[in-house]
A = this chain, B = another copy of it.
Amino acid sequence: MSRIVMKFGGTSVADLERIRIVAARVKKEFDDGNQVAVFVSAMAGTTDQLVSWVEEISPLHDAREYDSVVSAGEQITAGLLALALQDLGVPARSWLGWQIPFRTNQVHGAARIEEIGTQDLLSRMENGVVCVMAGFQGISADNRVTTLGRGGTDTSAVALAAALNADRCDIYTDVDGVYTADPRIVPQARKLEKITYEEMLEMASLGAKVLQTRSVAMAMNHKVRVQVLSSFINEPGTMVVDEEEIVEKQVVSGIAYAKNEAQITIVGVKNKPGIASDVFSSLADGNINVDMIIQNETEDGNKTDVTFTVPDNDLEKARMILQSADDIEFDTILTDSNVVKISVIGVGMRSHAGVAATMFKTLADKGINIQVISTSEIKISVLIDAEYTELAVRALHTAYGLDAA
């Protein structure tokens, strides 16, 4: 007997037929003798519809009302899944965020979880009831509905799994696991049986949108064993686990890419103490996330070039901020949104030398120019021209021995 938290995203509950398939999947875990709690997202498209109504009726909307409106989507699916389970003869009932209660702070639209009432759920599960819960939502101290932000149902599920000390948190989605690379680009990509939290965090932050970053961080902090798997096919997915659980570590676990990057170079910045701080605090004030950064001396020692990347859709905003900043003097600004960030990720590289060298050589052999490099303990990222994306990912996948036999 295990205690399992299951989570089904919007495409998995997109219509009544799919909700019935989800119910059958939940029934199987229940019939196997497990204690089961299930979180559901809103039916695909519903949240977008509700958000667009809120934004249209009040462009500068009150986040508290936003939360109350948008949380209705998960409320609908939770009730429908409970009904579908009952229809299959499985004892089930639904809970909304305020009923659990799923207590959060008052940061509407991006609330943080403070405490989850598990007593009622535990006694129901012990009595053979499947608990179906509306994901993404909570209740604040002043009795109002809060939401956890986009993709928040992953976080709901992992948080409850931690609170219930669950054996596993299964995140059902429209992909069947985490791959060594995007299978649409690399036909030889393999599904990973296991991946570490840290690797998954790097993947998630790189835009491999399998799991929400925040839910991975939470799983890592609470050592929740998370499984990513498909609700459409019936086979094991990828387990996201602690490094210790992985006996034979790959040096590199996967090759990821992120297309929504743009490169900015500020040419001829007057080189004075604090200039980097001036540049990047202006951008931070504008809520722009800066990623890779390099700074080069120019021949003229009084000037320097600063290069960094920002999200593609913040490029124009970033340019405007820099141009209107009084305390930053420079010659010109060059931008390039036609770039891609390619990363090799693996906890094994901590103990292996030469991983970066292999990457640079592989790209050089294909004639691919590296524009920016950044590294972390378990990741090496380079910025290259976007048109080399597929070539680079495939070459690296082969170079690190990841191709399926």
Residues in chain A within 8 A of chain B (CB atoms) = 16, 19-20, 50, 53-54, 56-62, 64-66, 68-69, 71-73, 75-76, 78-80, 82-84, 86-87, 93-94, 96, 98-99, 143-145
Contacts and interface: CB of A to CB of B under 8 A. Distances in A.
Is chain A's interface secondary structure helix, strand, loop, or mixed overall?
Answer: helix
Nearest to A42: B72
A57 B75 contact: no
A83 B99 contact: no
A68 B54 contact: no
B80 A54 contact: yes
A64 B93 contact: yes
B62 A86 contact: yes
A390 B59 CA distance: 50
B58 A69 contact: no
**How many chain copies?**
2
A184 B382 CA distance: 74
A57 B87 contact: yes
B79 A69 contact: yes
Contacts of A84: 57-58
Contacts of A80: 53-54, 57, 65, 69
A76 B72 contact: yes
A82 B54 CA distance: 10
Contacts of A76: 50, 53, 69, 72
A20 B68 contact: no
A62 B88 CA distance: 13
Given A61-B83, A69-B75, A69-B79, 17 more contacts: A16-B56, A16-B57, A54-B80, A54-B83, A57-B83, A57-B87, A58-B83, A59-B87, A64-B93, A65-B83, A65-B94, A68-B94, A68-B96, A69-B80, A72-B75, A96-B145, A98-B98
A289 to B, nearest CB: 28
A54 B79 CA distance: 8
Contacts of A64: 93
Nearest to A88: B58
A59 B64 CA distance: 36
Contacts of A68: 75, 78-79, 94, 96
A66 B54 contact: no
Nearest to A50: B76
Nearest to A43: B53
A144 B98 CA distance: 10
A20 B79 contact: no
A66 B50 contact: no
A8 to B, nearest CB: 15
A57 B66 CA distance: 29
A82 to B, nearest CB: 5
Nearest to A62: B86
Contacts of A19: 57
A205 to B, nearest CB: 32
A68 B93 CA distance: 10
Nearest to A80: B57
Contacts of A78: 68
Given A65-B93, A93-B64, A86 B58 contact: yes
A57 to B, nearest CB: 5
